Structure 1
Amino acid sequence: MPAQPAAHAPIPPEVRRQAAAWLVELQSDGAGEQTRLDWQAWRAAHPDHERAWQRIEALGTKLQALQPGLAHAALASAGSPGRRRVVQGLAVALFAGGLAWAAQDRVPWRQWVADRRTGVGERATITLPDGTRVDLNSDSAVDIAFTDTERVLRLAAGEILVATAPDSHTPVRPFFVQTAEGRLQPLGTRFSVRQVARGESAVAVYEGAVRVQPRQGSALVLNAGQQASFTTARVNQPGAADEADTAWVQGMIVAQDMPLGDFIAELARHHPGWLGCAPSVADLKVTGTYPVDDTMKVLDMLTRTLPVQVRLRTRFWASVEPRGEDE
């Protein structure tokens, strides 16, 4: 028998990866009795294996934060590059300790292992295998899963603008965009999808139509010129879509009487660090076209047109506040 490792000894990296792989495998639709028997045999094969699995079980309710990512991973083909990336990222999240869990809200592990991603202040354009064009906004991440039966783009974080292309595959495969809250099926269209916040996504349709299907609620079809947010339970009341909201593709924010608080929230998506707005000036109106590639220049422009000042505490901490007499 192998020697018993000390209880506090580090779990070998390969064992961590294997444990993460088993966690994904047990979530997949194909997991049956034989899978569970193989998993139990793996646990019994070495004390390190059992220690790794006990570490996972000890996480308890923390594992709930990983469920959306686990579901995405389980849908990927066994042995595929996408699943390997997820397993590697999951191994880091499971065994890196408290700091990794504390950072979940700021840098979700699903973003670390996404097929394509952009950093803060970066944008990218990709062309999918079927010719569909996808623009990624700042701090965004997507997974691409094309099979013989469907084309799926999974939004892990941020915002994308999608212009679908006809599928040359036979038979023609439906195209879907999947978020944490539900699934969107475009009907020959151009549309944007944004992960607004935890528990809410938003879609805006500029051409064609999009069928919005929350995970647990009734579906709704949005036509060109409509936008709506949705949760896992329902699609909220549709409103008017504004083409100006896609100006980020050209590296711009277009504002027309936009409340300063909302404007700063948009600009903060492109700013390397924390950027806030004091409530006392949040209702001031902003109008104009502003480049997002130089956020400090935009902030300087605001101080020239509005009664505000920018307070810098560090290079990565800025706040827009009322203009004071001590400037």
Structure 2
Amino acid sequence: MARRAVEWLVELQAGTPSADLRDAWQRWRAAHPDHERAWRHVESAHAHWQGVASPMASATAQAVLAKPGSPGRRHAVKTLALLVFTGSGLATGAATAPWDNWLADERTGIGERRTLRLAEGSAVTLNGDSALDIDSHLHRLRLAAGEILVSMPGARTLPLTVETAHGTLRALGARFAVRLLANASRIAVFDGTVDLFAADGAHMRLHAGQGTRIGPGGIARPVAADEALTAWADGMLIGGHMRLDEFLAELARYRRGTIHCDPAVAGLRVAGTFPLADTDRVLRAIAGVLPIEVVHFTRYYVMVRPRQ
């Protein structure tokens, strides 16, 4: 809603708005009280900085002048939304993570997956609760949250760049996965090669079957890439003799709320392939083979503990 309210401002500022545009704008405002509140906030901010040299005025001008649908306008609109809804101090600093994620070009909800088609036959699949910025003109992606699986055809002639908070990846004709963790980015390569560049200047080339992490300490030593980690793209979760607490932490990524694992059963092992479409069914399945019970205190709080 924040970005859409700003987009309406930009469209109404760009020349003389048509009657159809004004009608669509009014319908959007009337569709939900939060739409109207967002618009009032944008309108108030615009009136405050109108005619004043400021980062907000500059972002507005850039968005108005840029071609609709172009990367320049999308970037200006995103910058303007951040300035309007979180304060002009962001003009010289990094955006907070939640706003950066909410205003990303592409987002998925919890449990949702989506595949996007890129130039030259490439595709990127977003895991649930992920956020991705796409600059098609520069063949560049920026992963702001979550996880992606990238598939590139061998005949591709232009390299694709993927940026995270910890470093940059560059690939040509490869298939690889990137997951943004709390303090690092995890990369796994399944086909082709991927070049990694850390913020500290370190560089590494990963080949098919290799994986690593990029974090504050640079690039870690390569390890074997586990393709089971990408089973989510097919709607599955594979537990290959995984600790129960780790398994539940992965499962929790695909449902709303919290799954608490009692430390007394955390070390039990889970093996099998489980469909992510019904996480309650998965919990019932593991309770049928392990000495545990699953207690639903509320719809959003589940405890896994020793069977009484």
Q: Answer yes or no: same fold by TM over 0.5.
A: yes
Q: Describe the shift of the 1:12–1:241 C-alpha distance in structure 2 as closer, same or farther (beyond 3 A).
A: closer
Conservation of the 8 A alpha-carbon contact between 2:245 and 2:267: yes
Distance 1:13 1:158 in 2: 29
Amino acid at match of 1:114: A
1:42 aligns with 2:26: no
Query: Which aligned pairs between 1:63-102 and structure 2 lie closer than 5 A?
Result: 79-94=72-87
User: What stretches of structure 2 of length at least 5 have no aligned partner?
Assistant: 1-39, 58-69, 89-95
Structure 1 residue matching 2:277: 3-state secondary structure: coil
Deviations 1:57-83 (A, max 9, x none): xxxxxxxxxxxxxxxxxxxx8851243
Overall identity of the aligned pairs, in %: 41
Deviations 1:130-154 (A, max 9, x none): 321111111111111122xx31011
Structure 2 match to 1:236:
220
Q: Give TM-score scaled by structure 2 length.
A: 0.73
| Aligned counterpart for 1:193 among listed residues 178, 200, 211 | 178
Distance 1:212 1:114 in 2: 23
Distance 1:167 1:88 in 2: 39
Count of matched residue positions in the alignment of Structure 1 and Structure 2: 250
**Structure 1 residue 94, shift from structure 2 partner:** 3.3
Deviations 1:231-289 (A, max 9, x none): 14401122111111111111001112111111111101101111221222111010111
**Structure 1 residue 87, shift from structure 2 partner:** 2.7
Amino acid at match of 1:113: L
Query: Which aligned pairs between 1:252-291 and structure 2 lie closer than 5 A?
Result: 252-291=236-275
Q: Describe the shift of the 1:273–1:17 C-alpha distance in structure 2 as closer, same or farther (beyond 3 A).
A: farther
Q: Give TM-score scaled by structure 1 length.
A: 0.69
Conservation of the 8 A alpha-carbon contact between 1:215 and 1:233: no
Distance 2:186 2:173 in 1: 19
Amino acid at match of 2:42: P
Distance 1:90 1:174 in 2: 33
Distance 1:18 1:300 in 2: 56
Structure 2 match to 1:310:
294
Q: Describe the shift of the 1:153–1:17 C-alpha distance in structure 2 as closer, same or farther (beyond 3 A).
A: farther
Amino acid at match of 1:315: R
Q: Describe the shift of the 1:286–1:78 C-alpha distance in structure 2 as closer, same or farther (beyond 3 A).
A: closer
Amino acid at match of 1:42: A
Q: Describe the shift of the 1:228–1:40 C-alpha distance in structure 2 as closer, same or farther (beyond 3 A).
A: farther
Deviations 1:277-305 (A, max 9, x none): 12221110101110111111101111101
Q: Describe the shift of the 1:120–1:42 C-alpha distance in structure 2 as closer, same or farther (beyond 3 A).
A: same
Structure 2 match to 1:74:
none
**Structure 1 residue 185, shift from structure 2 partner:** 0.7
Q: Describe the shift of the 1:84–1:164 C-alpha distance in structure 2 as closer, same or farther (beyond 3 A).
A: same
